[in-house]
Structure 1
């Protein structure tokens, strides 16, 4: 959800002071890195498997349920469930579990139980939770400003993005044709940032020691295209068949503060893959402070250098606030627990769903492959251009399992073959290095293998079902609702998506 704000208006002086405080925070971070303030971090990292899952809310007829505040009141668990930008969204913060032994089994059981309890409590609101990258039954009428959750952060974020743009947001995306059909196109202006709320994700967190951060971030960038191709689950928006993972381009367009003229000048977007491999986590925070104006310039009275001089760990409030409004697909995070600072990589490329088991499998593949690549003798990013990694992300998002991805020593290969032949063995070795049992590795990585063998993802299943229903005579709206109803039943039953009947 991001850090809260209290101000409802910001002045020119707020912006000037905020810029100064961000630079002060960057200087303080550089000092902390130089003086070894993060020395208590483990090396190599032994992460807890931490995740945030964004959910959509639907009525029994599969239309969006604009009732997140009432739903959250009924769930009554603020530590786990929180608001999100749209009234049809909630976010679940999954309590971290150990990534060794068979600890992931307990985390999986806990996740299932939490969702079961939540769904039971919200039944009286004619609402149910859906894990999906984009809710197929969302229409343009659901994306107006009136459906933003009542929260100062969301309202300010919307106002500041539009103030920076000076015009409405344009959504413009040509889709991948459904079987036997022509390509469809979404081209519409939006008067709010709510199309961002349509993009519901799984966010994975990895705590990393400073000396290991660059290797892990570079490896995460290399993995992004394969991750998205494997997990694609967002093929429809506003009744249009778009990319297999439409969430990637729609999120970028929905939060773009640049009018056309600034795009033509090459001004960097706030949803950003990046532009180079890094040698230090400091590179990322320095870029964020140099290139991006403030969206939420709320200033505190704390001097971070004075905090360090006094032997205390600074919160770096302005740096954290600013960082939370720059949407890197692999975002650096500074935080502190019990007076101890730490750094995390927040992996943001994955969609939510389709099932709990699919979610756990996506997480296991990421953590395992990331460690394997980060600790390889010859780093893959030393043999791969940064542009190739970014192009992989776009190809994976557009075509899903049909994407052709570039990999050093392989050239271009189908996403399924690349994962089966190269990345799955690396993921297995990485998970074994973390200490995950063979039983646990087999449970989760066999799901990834099954997707590659069947070539069925959440997106390909959704697309095939809509074609089937339309061929039987249903309209697009009826076909989407019928497909989503079956999707929800399959999600609750819990079998991984590659086993769902077409």
Structure 2
């Protein structure tokens, strides 16, 4: 969620001034792009992972402030709910043994954080949606006590004008309502950053959009919410609905949701920032002290603070990022598609697959976005979220004039995309040993048709067959997941069957929701 803001009250004058400054920032960005005043390419990548806190019983723990106080590291930060926190890995140059370096840093950081969490009877759990969360866990009272979150919640509630509604038909049907945006905190993700030049931005963003469905298919890890089995990757519908500021009438009119896939391929980073201003009213109209156009005129580099803040309240799955570091402007593509977990090895495998594939596709002579209709990419994303590793996706046939074919995601990955990802990692200069190790995990997932979501579902049903009721089965599965996550072997190697314990060990019923 990023920047700190002060929730001191907002009036009409604030909104008018903020809107004016947004357009000044957009004009400033246009000038920066036209004059090519951006940092040189450095092949820098960044990694952020949102985490859950759970007890030894598998249930959520609302203790992030206590855990963060004990961790005492700037690498770990608060997140939306008190059962969440985030770890940030310092930027790395994408070359050499970078994948193993990322894995080692992540293992070390998570192990340290977990030791500190244990001091308050909690554990770090890296998972897309904690299966044991109940609707009563995600209320305004359990939002982190940070001004930005308080203000964002207040502004989204005011824009919505009524409770937020979650209605997802998956394996089961979930209907739930919330007076706050807190259910958004159920969704914990991996965010992959890639610094790019303005000239390469559109190609990288378009490539990332094209492969978002494939990322979900192989990496899905969020099949449960509030006690119901839903989509294999339930984060996207949960996130969209829990942040949806549109009243039903606006939804019926086709007004765009603040969490969306997009609707077209782009030609420039400017396209995305301009769309964000054109389609989405400001939620946090807080102005910084800098005059962006004056700063530009004086030869400086503006921070475009208002544009950056507004951009952070439009939740694209591939988000454009503008930032200033060491006095130089740069652009990044922030890939927000993947759920957290299951293990460090799995996260780095997903990371390798993404960076390799996006490099290869961005440099193809006949780019994928000239052969795949955007509507097909969006439909693929929805299909992959629903069915995960069992999804069938639409993809261009090889050769000129081949058209679009429907193909199982696992076959597409193994036959076409893994070789491309390997070539992309070679182009970055990644060591072959790292390339083969981590892309091999993706290959094995596809061969066995196992990812985090399919394991969770299978383990849950195994627990049910052993005689546990729904809540006890979810709890037992979550505890087992946590054990295996900390052991570190990739999820496709995890056994589904294990001694789940007697039904009498189960906690009481927690998941009280409306269900069709």
Normalised by the shorter chain, which TM-score bucket?
over 0.9
Distance 1:384 1:114 in 2: 40
Aligned to 2:67: 71
1:134 equivalent among 129, 139, 146: 129
Aligned to 2:224: 236
The correspondence of residues 79-98 of structure 1 with structure 2, limited to 5 A, is 79-98=74-93
Contact 2:51–2:86 (Cα < 8 Å) also in 1: yes
Q: State the TM-score, normalizing by the size of structure 1.
A: 0.97
The correspondence of residues 389-468 of structure 1 with structure 2, limited to 5 A, is 389-409=377-397, 411-468=405-462
Distance 1:144 1:331 in 2: 27
Q: Does 1:154 align with 2:142?
A: no
Shift of 1:50: 1.1
3-state SS in 2 of match to 1:122: helix
> Greater shift after overlay, 46-55 or 238-247?
46-55
- 1:133-177 CA-to-partner distances (Å, cap 9, x unmatched) read 00000001101110011011001111111100100000000112x
Contact 2:102–2:348 (Cα < 8 Å) also in 1: no
Aligned to 2:332: 344
Aligned to 1:375: 363
Distance 2:244 2:28 in 1: 30
3-state SS in 2 of match to 1:129: strand
3-state SS in 1 of match to 2:337: strand
Aligned to 1:30: 30
Aligned to 1:181: none
Q: Does 1:476 align with 2:475?
A: no
- 1:57-76 CA-to-partner distances (Å, cap 9, x unmatched) read 00111110001000100111
3-state SS in 2 of match to 1:335: strand
Q: What stretches of structure 2 of length at least 5 have no aligned partner?
A: 398-403, 497-516
3-state SS in 2 of match to 1:170: strand
The correspondence of residues 124-273 of structure 1 with structure 2, limited to 5 A, is 124-176=119-171, 184-273=172-261
- 1:237-258 CA-to-partner distances (Å, cap 9, x unmatched) read 1000000000111001000000
Aligned to 1:103: 98
Aligned to 2:40: 41
Contact 1:235–1:242 (Cα < 8 Å) also in 2: yes
Contact 2:46–2:91 (Cα < 8 Å) also in 1: yes
1:287 equivalent among 251, 275, 281: 275
Contact 2:7–2:150 (Cα < 8 Å) also in 1: no
- 1:87-107 CA-to-partner distances (Å, cap 9, x unmatched) read 000000111223211132122
Contact 2:359–2:424 (Cα < 8 Å) also in 1: yes
Distance 1:474 1:32 in 2: 61
Contact 2:128–2:189 (Cα < 8 Å) also in 1: yes
Shift of 1:2: 2.1
Aligned to 2:506: none
Contact 1:175–1:185 (Cα < 8 Å) also in 2: yes
Aligned length: 490
Contact 2:190–2:338 (Cα < 8 Å) also in 1: yes
1:501 equivalent among 476, 495, 499: 495
Aligned to 1:360: 348
Contact 1:235–1:243 (Cα < 8 Å) also in 2: yes
3-state SS in 2 of match to 1:161: helix
Contact 1:332–1:343 (Cα < 8 Å) also in 2: yes
3-state SS in 2 of match to 1:343: strand
Distance 2:460 2:123 in 1: 22
Aligned to 2:308: 320
Distance 1:279 1:97 in 2: 27
Q: What stretches of structure 1 of length at least 5 have no aligned partner?
A: 177-183
Contact 1:98–1:104 (Cα < 8 Å) also in 2: no
Shift of 1:118: 1.1
Distance 1:41 1:251 in 2: 35
Q: State the TM-score, normalizing by the size of structure 2.
A: 0.94
Shift of 1:300: 1.9
- 1:235-293 CA-to-partner distances (Å, cap 9, x unmatched) read 00100000000011100100000010001111111001111111111100111111110
Distance 1:127 1:454 in 2: 33
Q: Does 1:334 align with 2:336?
A: no
Aligned to 2:263: 275
Provide the aligned C-alpha RMSD in A.
0.9
- 1:318-368 CA-to-partner distances (Å, cap 9, x unmatched) read 000000000011000000110000000000010000000000000110000
Distance 1:47 1:407 in 2: 28
